[in-house]
Amino acid sequence: MTGLRRNLTFKAEKYLEIFPVIVFLGVRQCGKTTISRQLRPEWDYFDLEKSSDFDFITGNFDFFFREYNKHIIIDEAQQSPQLFRELRGVIDADRRINGRFILTGSSSPALIKEITESLTGRVGIIEIGPMKINELHGIPVSPLYEIIQGEIDNRTMDKLLHLDIRYSYDEVINKFLTGGYPYPVLQKDPEVFDIWMENYFRTYLQQDIRSKFPKLNDINYRRFISMLSQLSGSIINKNDLGRTLSCSEVTVSQYLNIADGTYVWRSLSSYEKSVSKSIVKRPKGHMRDSGLNNFLLGLDSRDKLLKHPRAGNLFEAFIIEEILMGMESTIQTGWQPYYFRTRNGAEIDLILDGKNGTLPIEIKLGVSNTIKDLTSLTRFLDNNNLPLGIVVNNSSRVKKLSDRIIQIPAGCL
């Protein structure tokens, strides 16, 4: 698919030192196979969506693992839930050896259940999505993420002030328009992009959803995903969605869980540690890939995208995903993303909260910010006694907006 190096390579190498098996989980066509084979090109490779490989492995697990008990890659492992239970015995026969197996899988509740029940303590799970902007440009991930995964204190501002702008405004907007699925983006052909996206979405619905959730109303679920594309970057009202789809709030919750669990949607929880007593607790989220989202909305040009009435929300969703992909490429643990909103309308787009501190981030499509734009962020910093807040926008330079707020252009991400 592509020879470009993925940000998760370093993390995967570290996990192979710690665990007997690592599993790459993510949507189809995001590069799981590519990164697996780049990591260990000399290992034996099997694809469970290939009937001959499926029959060879599942026909007699004992024989297979006697011949191949280490240094193998098994693609699309969700096709055989029994595989994970068999792997447990193979691993436990010599638990001291790490770095033996690489598996890939498209997520589903059944797959996650098998992994957690069969391989707890033996497996490192790595989520992989479409490509981040630096990966498409073939350069290392921004030092921003190493900085903000450290202790968030008064020295963090000084470190951030030295960030370089790595991408032009046009390059950022182009990534916002096309997203990060490797094949259609690297082709650089709008016609190929549209054809690929149409077939990709059809495959997602017919192969991933229909096969994994056979009792699901697939027509209603397709409508639901189309509605989610319109709500990307918004707080979700399940009652309103249920009325539109003529289904219950319980069903809407099920649909949200499926969309999130199959990695097309990312749900963000409300940040509830704040001193504010008027917090909105409804779920918020966004489509993980801006290119797929724009395709579903019919936004096939830069002009249409930037003139869309919800362009600001869509850009917010795009930037949040870029930041989270950057954070996930590090080996930092113990952090979680949130959003914050009060019933009075105060809002923080993204909050990174972990053992090294709490970092609120506001995201704006424009190139500058007024004092009014900073009100919610300033108040949040004051109320929670925090040393630093970030505003991401399309400005042309990194600069301090106040003693505790720094402007970082999207081109630094």
Q: What is the chain's pLDDT, residue by residue, as a tens digit (413 residues)? A: 456 789 999 999 999 999 999 999 988 888 899 999 999 999 999 999 999 999 999 999 999 999 999 999 999 888 888 898 888 898 988 888 999 999 998 766 667 777 877 788 888 999 999 999 999 999 999 999 999 888 888 889 999 999 999 999 999 999 999 999 999 998 889 899 999 999 998 888 877 788 778 888 888 999 999 999 999 998 888 898 989 989 999 999 999 988 988 889 999 998 887 666 677 778 899 999 999 999 999 999 999 999 999 999 999 999 999 999 999 998 887 889 999 988 887 889 999 998 888 999 999 998 887 777 788 899 999 989 999 999 999 999 999 999 899 999 999 99
- Spatial distance between the Cα atoms of 112 and 412, rounded to a whole number of angstroms: 34
The pLDDT, as a whole number, for residue 108 is 63
The pLDDT, as a whole number, for residue 1 is 45
119, 326 contact by CB (below 8 A) = no
Length of the chain: 413
CATH label of the domain that carries residue 19: 3.40.50.300
**Residues 99 and 225 both lie in one domain:** no
The pLDDT, as a whole number, for residue 277 is 61
Residues 6+ apart with CB under 8 A from 338: 268, 269, 270, 271, 350, 351, 353
**Residues 87 and 214 both lie in one domain:** no
**Residues 142 and 245 both lie in one domain:** yes
Number of domains in the chain: 2
Q: Domain boundary at 80, 100, 127, which?
A: 127
Quote the domain boundaries for residue 161: 133-412
The residue with tokens 């797959």 is 111
Look at residue 381 and tell me if it is in a domain: yes
The pLDDT, as a whole number, for residue 2 is 52
Q: Domain boundary at 92, 110, 127, which?
A: 127
The pLDDT, as a whole number, for residue 274 is 65
Q: Can you list the positions of beta strands (E) in 5-47?
A: 21-25, 44-47
**Residues 25 and 59 both lie in one domain:** yes
**Residues 97 and 150 both lie in one domain:** no
Look at residue 4 and tell me if it is in a domain: no
CA distances from 214 to 207, 209, 211 (A): 10, 8, 6
**Residues 112 and 185 both lie in one domain:** no
